[in-house]
Amino acid sequence: MGGRQCVGIDVSASEITVAIEGQVGRTTLANDAAGHKQLVRQLTRGKGIARVCLEATGIYHLDLALALHRAPRVEVAVVNPAAVRDFGRALMQRSKTDGVDADVLLAYAERMPFVAWQPPAPEILDLRAIVRRMGALTLTRTQERNRLHAAGHCAELTEVIAWDIEAHLEHLAQSLERLEQQALALVRTHAELARRFERLVSVRGIGTTSALRILAELAVLPADMSARQWVAHAGLDPRQLESGTSLHKPARISKKGNRHLRAALYMPALVAAREEPHVRGFYQHRIARGLKPLQALVAIERKLLHAIHGMWLRDTNFDGPKFYVDAA
């Protein structure tokens, strides 16, 4: 069957809900590589073109959008959530569930002008892949170090095992060094990435590895995202709990976002709170106002994202007094 068939997809952290033009009911699939593969098979079964509309939902939509973009006879539009929300209101749609959202996105694809999504540049995707591999190897290295520590306190773990762990740690160190050099070479051969990298390392507290991690996660985001949207994307936005017996509990960060970006910001915030006078002043001010140390570090992470957003926008290095005036 030829022609064009519109599709609306609601994306969440673990699932995608799919509404297809002309089909009764909706399909729910896992938001992972296997689920994406199953969806592509479903959409490319005939000879027609599938015109897919989904919302920009930070980390959750990107891998799905890339899988659909690579598929034959599939066109993808990634729509601003505010535009979809306004469109839903125009349809007098007040309910909000995954299924309803998929239906609204299907109606959007059917009625609104279609603007094809352009994926991030290949070098940005390559950088993200390299840096995430570095993160995975770093986690493995930490696990192996813990095993080596245990080997010294457990008679059942022989010297042979300890030697094998040490050899693995050496291999991991070499792999991490090689990957970091490849990531740096990639950054230096692309002017925009190099410019952003230099702005990041101008912050006392953001070293080479941290700068690569932050850059890899932020560079894939749409250029028109605000600093507030960056904070929400990282899952660092405060979430007020006011339900049932949870009334008036202190706000906590949502953590509904990019865990890689949150992890990349932690050490820079910790080091900057010690080494950068204006960040230290901000940290001490938050502590004096009653925040716990971890809460104050989260506040630094949020403010660092705002600072980075401004530095990239204006092409300027870190300016301490703009971060916090009354430095200690």
Please report, for the domain that includes residue 27, its CATH number. Answer: 3.30.420.40
> How far is residue 224's CA from residue 244's CA, in Å, rounded to a whole number?
38
Region of 196 (left: φ > 0; alpha: ψ -120 to 50; beta: rest) is: alpha
Q: Judge whether 8 lies within some domain.
A: yes
Distances (CA, A) of 181 to 66, 178, 188, 267: 26, 5, 10, 21
pLDDT by residue (tens digit) across 23-50?
A: 888 999 999 999 999 999 999 988 889 9
Question: Could you tell me if residue 278 is inside a domain?
Answer: yes
Q: Say if strands 27-30 and 15-20 run parallel, antiparallel, or are unpaired.
A: antiparallel
Asked, for residue 194, whether it belongs to a domain, the answer is no
pLDDT at 243: 41
* Residue 76 is assigned to a structural domain of this protein: yes
Closest alpha carbon to 46 in 16, 23, 17, 79 = 23
Q: Which residues pair with 20 in a beta bridge?
A: 7
pLDDT (0 to 100) of residue 96: 56
Taking a C-beta distance cutoff of 8 angstroms, is the pair 145, 173 a contact? Answer: no
Indicate whether 44 belongs to any domain. yes
Predicted structure pTM score: 0.77
Residue 223 lies in a domain: yes
In a domain? residue 171: no
The predicted pLDDT at position 239 comes to 58
pLDDT tens for 177-219 read: 999 999 999 999 999 999 999 999 999 999 999 999 999 999 9
Residue where one domain finishes, among candidates 111, 127, 153 = 111
Q: How many domains does the chain have?
A: 2
| Domain's final residue, options 60, 83, 111 | 111
Q: Which residues form the domain of 320?
A: 215-328
Q: What SS3 string covers 156-175?
A: CCCHHHHHHHHHHHHHHHHH
Q: Looking at the domain assignment, is residue 322 inside a domain?
A: yes
Residue 40's CB: how many other CB atoms inside 10 A?
Answer: 18
Q: Which of 146, 6, 105, 119 is nearest to 64 (CA)?
A: 119
Taking the C-alpha atoms of residue 81 and residue 19, their distance in angstroms, rounded to an integer, is 17
Q: Mark which of 85, 111, 137 sits at the end of a domain.
A: 111
CA distance 126 to 94: 41
pLDDT of residue 254: 55
Residue ranges, the chain, pLDDT below 50: 1, 240-248, 327-328
